[in-house]
Structure 1
Amino acid sequence: MNRLRIIVFALGLAAWNGASVDAQSRSVENNQDAKPNIVFIMADDLGPGWVDFDGTEAAIHTPNLERLANRGMVFSRAYAAAPVCSPTRASCLTGMSPAKVGYTTHAPGMGQDKYLKQIGGRGTGGAIDAESRVFIPGEAPSYARELKQLGYSTAFFGKWHLAGEGSKNAADGIINSEWHPEHYGFDSNLGGCAYGQPRSWFDPFRNGTIPNRKRGEYLTDRLGDEAAAYIEANSASPFHVTLWLYSVHTPIKAPADLVKKNGGSAYHAMLQSMDMAVGKVLDALDQTGTAENTLVVFYSDNGGDRPTVGLAEKKGSLLEGGLRVPMAVCWPGVIEPGSRCDVPVTSPDFFPTFVNAAGGDASTIEGLEGKDLTPLYTGAESLDRDSLYWHFPHHRKGIQYAMGSSILEGDWKFYRGYGKTADALFNVRTDPQEQTSVIQNNPELAERLRIKLSRWLTDVKARMPRTDDDFETEKDD
């Protein structure tokens, strides 16, 4: 089989050592002769505890997500690769960490210069945000491109936020259409542009990639309809759907009837609307007879914009509240219904998982950092990985543990601060809210993790925070 050869772009990508799984043999073992369809659903700014399968509030109504979870596996320690959206999305698509891609914070709608002035750092003599990409280089790996090469039809629906800065100044969210999903292996794109949040939740959407069709229609409803229709139209051959919902990002708005049904809570109404979109997709799979041969993933791009009960801080933080996300996966014949996994997993893992499941071999693609999750789907209790890493060299208003990097090894998380927050060491099992740093009591462990983190940052050629002098040099040049 001819394989697309990915041109390694100039970020000094190192070869990865992830183990691959023979997807064809696995399919035979599970009596699946056809390539599995793959559906990847991602919510926006949804922390754990805000859906029924791991929720804490009786007022939450997400029965379709509970239906998905009951058919498959819930991951209790799923992490986003970054505490904000764009970097996590880039890591999902490329199979690499945000630090390796060079995309470490969101592409600001107001533009980078204005955003830097707003969040502080310039002129203070302290750390200034590292330079970050605002789009993905076209030659970077893409799971959609790989799936297309393997014979899949591929479609993107929803929020992309990987297509340039300054979308607030655009009438339709388009900064450069060459950075849209259709240039990264997707056959079609509805909704994906530079927007990080909807210009309008209701039709007319003022989004250049979504044709208006019914005035007042809610965006989440439209995206669910379109994804379901795509499944119905392409069910005769292997298909892939990426449905990255704009929900539940601000502004918090939902249809009036749903708000009323949720006791006046627009946020709970948004959760229910999101769940209804998931239900449309699951129904389409059932009605077309493709559900039994479809891998479905539900995930979120970062921790909640609303705090998660029992976890510290929220979106924008390198503590658990900014990184932990809800995750459920269904794959009939492979995953035991109603199962649970407590192994830490993260965003780059989806790339090799999807490619190997489709009959490809992700190990031939240079630079990937993700691990194939299939062993966990089939009962393994660990992956060939001892640590997870994060690099967020950026300020975030109201967040203490931003502007730093961190490593999670087992139950130990070491945070390296670049700004006003000092280095810290937490045990996330005994202290899940990360209230007390024990770095003074464990100096040798902290130093070992510090060295390990530093080596990783060097290996991926991470872009580091800047100073006022850097900007003066740029001006002189």
Structure 2
Amino acid sequence: MIYYFALLVFAFAACTPVFMHGAEKPNSVFIMVDDLGPGWVDFDGSDPTINTPNLERMADAGMVFTRAYAAASVCSPTRAACITGMSPAQIGLTTHIPGAPGRRHSAVPGGPSDAPSINQLPLELPSYARELKKLGYATAFIGKWHLAGEGSMRTKDGIVDSQYHPEHYGFDSNLGGCAYGQPKSWFDPFKNGTLENREEGQYLTDRLAEEAVAFIQANKDQPFHLTLWPYNVHKPFRAPKDLYKNNGNDHYRAMLESMDNAIGRVLDTLEAAGVSENTLVVFYSDNGGDKATEWLSEKKGSLLEGGLRVPMVVTWPAVIRGGTSTAEPITSMDFFPTFVHMSGGSTDEIKELEGMDLMPLFKGADQLDRESLYWHYPHNRNGVKYSMGGVVLSRDWKFYNGYGVQPDVLFNLKEDPMEQTNVISSHPEMADRMLKEHEAWLASVKAAEPDYSTDTAMIPAKQR
């Protein structure tokens, strides 16, 4: 009887949320920046001249994810995947808003044209903010949304379809989130209908940091979740004059410093409020960098590592041991179940979810119970190699499904991190298995296909 009671106690403990062990419900802060690739933060050790000391502070206090991936090589699909826990292919939002169905790649005459992609996040889809609201959390969205309609830069205020703004997905408040994919102005007046002008000339990132600080201070005595998605470091590159001068008249590096200063203000406020110990803080990016990384191939828009890999570091002193790292691949859909489960909620009834809870990694596990990650980008994009196509990542193996635009490719990332050598001829069984796996996944999520109708010669034999 004692043996069975012990088993029951162990089973209960294994599935009990962290906060039930004598602590209060944990808070969470999700910081996702824009167009920042690996190699442009100092915690990955690639460039000692980069000035991001607060990210280094997070790395010292928490865990670095050396193989973090975005759900897409461009921004809107990744943002949708984070909110819903669903892949861009399942949502039907597979490129940045607005999409361009029918567009063709200038380098591939007669090749397939873009698949359709929706221009807003459907309201009926899951949202981690809604789930957290059910659990009694105060929630706020601050920053870039880019999931609410097309043509925003032609508007006066970035508002196209306000019914798709963050406040309709479970966020109590929304400051800055509209249809904009980039700010119309980096300085007040911001020309943003969801962010009131207040101090002429104030830098946008500073203002968003102020709003984040105010939210934390106002909600420190109750469980809260803050989604802070700054517009840094998206083009056009603009920064305050003092930071510009301090960074050798380099706008991009000045924007990095401004971003890091904002993160520092958030960390300082959590500490001053006495809640940092039990607050998960995530730093992440929405896709690979607009500026390429020296030790990865390609950049934003490409399905090579430089377009999909992103910097990521997390802190949660009550749970995560400082100065640690993991090489386990993770993706955008993983944040939904992580935020909900750590807060005491369940996702059992949300059948659409494709992500996994990251808690085992936070507690020191070597890997998740997952073999593969998948991508689908049925769109043409000039200026990068390997844009239209699909990907299967299975540990060290990466298979690129060329969709008829380019030949299929197989890389071994452990031996060839720069993706220079196609080993498909020496590993045909591996390539065939991964191709079938990718096609099965595409079918399971009902992914939209590129349009091959005008030139059957370009259609891969498997799709004819």
TM, length-normalised to structure 1? 0.90
Which of 70, 81, 84 aligns to 1:94? It is 84
C-alpha displacement at 1:377, in angstroms? 0.3
Matching residue of 2:352:
367
- Find out whether 1:131 has 2:134 as its counterpart: no
Please give the residue correspondences for 1:421-432 in structure 2 after superposition, counting only pairs within 5 Å: 421-432=406-417
Matching residue of 1:80:
70
Matching residue of 1:12:
none
Please give the residue correspondences for 1:230-245 in structure 2 after superposition, counting only pairs within 5 Å: 230-245=215-230
- Find out whether 1:465 has 2:450 as its counterpart: yes
- Find out whether 1:220 has 2:205 as its counterpart: yes
Please give the residue correspondences for 1:164-183 in structure 2 after superposition, counting only pairs within 5 Å: 164-183=149-168
Provide Cα deviations, 1:143-164, integer angstroms capped at 9, x if missing partner.
Answer: 0000011100100000000001
C-alpha displacement at 1:422, in angstroms? 1.1
Q: CA–CA distance in 2 between the matches of 1:21 and 1:148?
A: 25
- Find out whether 1:54 has 2:17 as its counterpart: no
C-alpha displacement at 1:55, in angstroms? 3.8
Unaligned runs of 5+ in 2: 1-11, 456-464
Answer yes or no: is the 8 Å Cα contact 2:104–2:113 preserved in 1.
Answer: no
- Find out whether 1:276 has 2:261 as its counterpart: yes
- Find out whether 1:321 has 2:306 as its counterpart: yes
Please give the residue correspondences for 1:434-449 in structure 2 after superposition, counting only pairs within 5 Å: 434-449=419-434
- Classify the secondary structure of the residue corresponding to 1:362: coil
- Find out whether 1:388 has 2:378 as its counterpart: no
Answer yes or no: is the 8 Å Cα contact 2:63–2:320 preserved in 1.
Answer: yes
Matching residue of 2:460:
none
Answer yes or no: is the 8 Å Cα contact 2:104–2:380 preserved in 1.
Answer: no
Unaligned runs of 5+ in 1: 1-19, 471-477
Matching residue of 2:458:
none
Percent identical residues: 61
Which of 387, 401, 408 aligns to 2:386? It is 401
Q: CA–CA distance in 1 between the matches of 2:59 and 2:76?
A: 26
Q: CA–CA distance in 2 between the matches of 1:420 and 1:242?
A: 37
Which of 10, 19, 39 aligns to 1:27? It is 19
Answer yes or no: is the 8 Å Cα contact 1:389–1:453 preserved in 2.
Answer: yes
C-alpha displacement at 1:58, in angstroms? 2.4
Q: CA–CA distance in 2 between the matches of 1:136 and 1:276?
A: 31
Q: CA–CA distance in 2 between the matches of 1:27 and 1:171?
A: 45
- Classify the secondary structure of the residue corresponding to 1:64: helix
Provide Cα deviations, 1:186-232, integer angstroms capped at 9, x if missing partner.
Answer: 00000101100010101111111110001111001110111011100
Q: CA–CA distance in 2 between the matches of 1:27 and 1:240?
A: 15
TM, length-normalised to structure 2? 0.93
C-alpha displacement at 1:468, in angstroms? 5.2
Q: CA–CA distance in 2 between the matches of 1:156 and 1:52?
A: 27
C-alpha displacement at 1:441, in angstroms? 1.3
* Amino acid aligned to 2:391: S
Q: CA–CA distance in 1 between the matches of 2:364 and 2:173?
A: 35
- Classify the secondary structure of the residue corresponding to 1:282: helix
Q: CA–CA distance in 1 between the matches of 2:168 and 2:255?
A: 30
C-alpha displacement at 1:121, in angstroms? 9.0
Answer yes or no: is the 8 Å Cα contact 1:112–1:165 preserved in 2.
Answer: no
* Amino acid aligned to 2:172: D
Provide Cα deviations, 1:356-390, integer angstroms capped at 9, x if missing partner.
Answer: 01100122212101000000000111111100000
Answer yes or no: is the 8 Å Cα contact 1:23–1:357 preserved in 2.
Answer: no
- Find out whether 1:378 has 2:346 as its counterpart: no
Matching residue of 1:338:
323
- Find out whether 1:259 has 2:251 as its counterpart: no
Matching residue of 2:60:
70
Matching residue of 1:15:
none
Alignment size in residue pairs: 444
